[in-house]
Structure 1
Amino acid sequence: MERLHRKERVAAILKVLSDNPNVIFSLGYFSEIFDSARSTLSEDITIVKKVVENLKCGVVETLPGAAGGVKYVPGISREEEEEFISRLCDMIKTSDRIIPGGFLYMNDIIYSPEISSKIGIIMAQYFRDKNPDYVLTIETKGIPIAMMTAKALNIPLVIIRSDNRVTEGSTVSINYISGSSKRMRTMSLSKRSVKKGSRCIFIDDFMRAGGTANGVIELMKEFDCSVEGIGVLVESLPYNKRLVQNYVSLMNLESIDEEKGEVKIHPSMRK
């Protein structure tokens, strides 16, 4: 590769790190690519750290030792998070989102790459310290935000199905009770999906009574795995008998009034 000037190396290093979040790159890796001394690259990485810090888009961590190096951890500031969630609430409050039956149309939000990507980064910030091996979700609407959470953490996404799929081979299935409707439902997961003893987090788009989340916890026990955290985009309030207690929600939905065309939703208090 042609020798690059410092500003070009800094841009290239930032590109490599941001494309591979939570992956450790050694100075030797960059030294080989750019044909530069490690001392020079250390100075470059110091500049990269300052750029990321000033942009408030995460942190660049340096790890000492023979197995050390540098990695990028995506993130946003608390102020930006609060502003973003408030904007989402304003988007959802519009009366034209109300669907007959007291439901909300949110597909354009959940399936927006820009929005779901930021939701994923926020979720990743809350659960990074849990050191998860997998992000779990249940088909289908939770998939985009769970995928973006998995991307920010750079760990696999595992999708739990509501029925068996021939293409997934042998599966484990359990019956669980929906907390809101009190109906018996089924969830299934391929035996090849997760490794025994893994740590997982469960990400979903909506929570009422927490029956689905509780079902996921029970399902993972069949794999000798643990659910270390639960994150949902929206939780419905009020709900006195939540089947799970420890979770993070980004928004609280208080009520939907079809006659008045009113939706009461606001940023949640973190749990």
Structure 2
Amino acid sequence: MKIPRTERIARIMWRLTKNPFRSFSLSDIAKGFKVSKTVISDDIEIISKAMKDEGRCNIVIDRGRGGGAYLVPVFDESDRRNFLECLANELSKEERFLPGGLIYYSDIIFNPYYTQWLGWALASMFVDSGADVVMTTEVKGIPIALYVAQGLGLPLAVCRFRNRPSDGPAVALHYPSGTGEVRTMYMGTRNLKKGAKVLIIDDFMRGGSTISGMIMMTREFEASVVGKGVFIASALPEQKAISQYKALLVLEKREGKPHVSVL
């Protein structure tokens, strides 16, 4: 039975949005729906225009012999800023600020509604990074990094602060913290391949020591870092252990009070 065009478009769109950066053969899609490749190409053009107008992603179409289509995450600048400003206002509430210059945001990053858009926002900043794996640390870095990985169609490698037998063999790395103490992180030897191109994602950065530790870990695997993204970066200290990072929000002080702003 022939499937109506509206249903066919909806099903194609579902495949593309659920599998960013995965190329779907136009010929295979056409065969599955029992229509011509030209019909499928027209369907994807409609999807591409709708997604572009929505400002959430672009559909890349390869019209070559092996023609395929895949989704690239995009976040319209106006919508992105509105979303982040609403989030910054929520995070700037006085009851969220904790002793030691910390901020409570666990309810945000463990809420899929917020986290998927935060991941999409960061992913859209690194679509041209050439990364083939996303790296983060446990525990609060995982939710956002997982959505970044999903948005870029990449696997996620997690640095842990405690080695578990279930993780298999692991590399242990000692790195200095911002307070001067030496900490240890572990990376399973099966989680990161030698020579990998790594995109590092973290939830919060003050001095940058944790990200610096992850950079040191990539060297143990002879891997290279192609990008560093952060959800919230603290304005202080000004001198960080790393450079050339991208952050969505900044924690600073205004009139002597903590405040979260959009970068």
Tell me by how many angstroms 1:101 deviates.
4.1
Q: Percent identity?
A: 33
Q: Could you tell me which residue of structure 1 aligns to residue 57 of structure 2?
A: 58
Task: State the Cα deviation string for residues 9-37 of structure 1 (Å, max 9, x = none).
Answer: 11111111111111100111211211001
Task: State the SS of the aligned residue for 1:193.
Answer: coil
- Map Cα deviations across residues 103-154 of structure 1 (whole Å, 9 max, x no partner): 2211111111011101111111111111111110001111100000001011
Per the alignment, residue 120 of structure 2 pairs with 121
For 1:237 and 1:52, locate their aligned partners in 2 and report how far apart those are by CA, in whole Å.
Answer: 35
Query: After TM superposition, which residue ranges in structure 1, 4 or more long, deviate above 6 angstroms?
Result: none
The alignment of Structure 1 onto Structure 2 pairs a total of residues equal to 263
Give the counterpart letter for 1:118 in structure 2.
W
RMSD: 1.6
TM-score (normalizing by structure 2): 0.95
- The match for 1:16 is 15
CA contact (8 A) 2:24 2:70 kept: yes
Cα distance in 2 for residues equivalent to 1:240 and 1:56:
34
Q: Show the counterpart of 1:215.
A: 213
1:184 equivalent among 172, 182, 185: 182
C-alpha contact (below 8 Å) 1:175/1:186 kept by paired residues: yes
Unaligned 5+ segments in structure 2 are: none
Match among 227, 230, 240 for residue 229 of structure 1: 227
Distance 1:102 1:252 in 2: 13
Q: 5 Å matches for 1:190-209?
A: 190-209=188-207
Given that 2:24 and 2:69 are in contact with CA atoms closer than 8 Å, whether structure 1 keeps it comes out as yes
- Asked whether the 8 Å contact 1:24–1:68 carries over to 2, the reply is no
Match status 1:263 vs 2:261 = no
For 1:213 and 1:4, locate their aligned partners in 2 and report how far apart those are by CA, in whole Å. Answer: 50
Deviations 1:158-204 (A, max 9, x none): 1100121111121111111112x121101110111111111011101
Could you tell me which amino acid in structure 2 is paired with residue 238 of structure 1? Answer: L
| TM-score (structure 1 length as normaliser) | 0.93
In 2: Cα distance, 1:216 partner to 1:80 partner: 32
Which deviates more, 39-48 or 59-68? Answer: 59-68
Q: Classify the secondary structure of the residue corresponding to 2:12.
A: helix
Distance 1:101 1:197 in 2: 38
The residue identity in structure 2 corresponding to 1:239 is P
Deviation at 1:78, TM superposition (A): 0.8
Aligned equivalents of 1:178, 1:66: Cα separation in 2: 53
Amino acid of the residue matched to residue 235 of structure 1? A
* Partner of residue 136, structure 2: 137
AA at the equivalent of 2:42: E
Do the aligned residues in 2 keep the contact of 1:92 with 1:263 (CA within 8 Å)? no
Question: For the residues of structure 1 that align with 2:71 and 2:151, how far apart are their CA atoms?
Answer: 10
1:240 matched to which residue of 2? 238
